[in-house]
Amino acid sequence: MAAAGPAEVVVVGSCMTDLVSLTTRLPKAGETIHGHKFFIGFGGKGANQCIQAARLGAKTLMICKVGKDSFGNDYIENFKRNGISTDFVGQTEDAATGAASIIVNSEVKTLFNPAPAHAELDPQFYTHSDIFCCNESEAEILTGISVGTPEDAGKVGLVLLERGCKLVIVTLGAEGCVMISVDEPIPKHVPAGKVRAVDTTGAGDSFVGALAFFMACYPNLSMEEVIRKSNFIASVSVQASGTQSSYPYRKDLPQDLF
């Protein structure tokens, strides 16, 4: 059931079915081996981000294409179960293409996550996004600067501001992230809380989904506050295994976040 009223977070991005086999080792070419577990998961960076924003309470709409097959049907059901509008989820016989994702909220603010990153990214993506959010490896592909510390992330931020970005966020795993903007061109490190991480898969998408949620639903918060809250939500997601299965719902989070 999709939430009524106009969407607050619109995600354009990928949507993939993960077929996961757990085995003790990889098979050699042509070899059949026994696995000990198999499961199907919902993934894709765009869809992950949309699910996280929806679980926090945003009215969300997904724009993507799935195949005309049972996985595609199941994915549409997964969106509906999470209250996401599927009016713009198409079904096609063509193969799904992996692509960068863009999140747009009702203020037409755009948040761009360059995944998978290409060194020759169209320069319009820098100038046309309000927020440009990347992780350490994406930052290195885009700028050639290898990122290990908040200081390195600050250097990346300055380079991306020169390319026309208005606000850059570089996520740093357990270190949280660094933000920098044209209004305040001094890198600011926003640390994440110390947690016991069990599975960091999809943490970046949880972060971006939370960012979109807070920007759309709490437009009066400062960007630093939005980032602090998003760090918190992503740090919750790393404490459980799986991707979407680890994304928290609003009701299970400390209510002073909202």
Ligand X SMILES: *[C@@H]1O[C@H](CO)[C@@H](O)[C@H](O)[C@H]1NC(C)=O
Ligand Y SMILES: Nc1ncnc2c1ncn2[C@@H]1O[C@H](COP(=O)(O)OP(=O)(O)O)[C@@H](O)[C@H]1O
Which residues are designated catalytic? 205
Residue 214: CB minimum distance to ligand X, A: 12
In this chain, which of 100, 203, 211, 216 binds ligand Y, going by CB under 6 A?
203
When asked if residue 212 is in the footprint of ligand Y (CB under 6 A), the reply is: no
Q: 96-135: which residues touch ligand X (CB under 6 A)?
A: 115-117, 135
The distance of closest approach from Cβ of residue 133 to ligand Y in the complex, given in angstroms and rounded to an integer, is 9
Could you say whether residue 136 binds ligand X (CB under 6 A)? yes
- Of positions 135, 181, 244, 246, contacts ligand Y by CB under 6 A: 135
**Residue whose pair of structure tokens reads 């680890």 in the numeric block:** 246
Pairing of strands 101-105, 110-113: antiparallel
List CB contacts of 150: < 8 A, sequence separation 6 or more: 172, 175, 178, 187, 189
Residues 223-242 that bind ligand Y (CB under 6 A): 231, 234-235, 238
Using CB under 6 A, count the residues that bind ligand X: 9
The answer to whether residues 76 and 64 touch, using CB atoms and an 8 Å cutoff, is: no
Give the tokens for residue 9: 């977070």
**Binding region for ligand Y (CB under 6 A) out of 21-29, 117-125, 150-158, 171-179:** 171-179
Three-class DSSP category at 102: strand
**Minimum distance from CB of 69 to ligand X (Å)?**
25
Distances (CA, A) of 200 to 94, 105, 192, 234, 237: 31, 26, 13, 9, 7
Number of CB atoms found within 10 A of residue 16's CB? 19
Question: What does the binding site for ligand Y look like in residue numbers (CB under 6 A)?
Answer: 135, 171-174, 176-177, 192, 195, 197, 200, 203-204, 207, 231, 234-235, 238
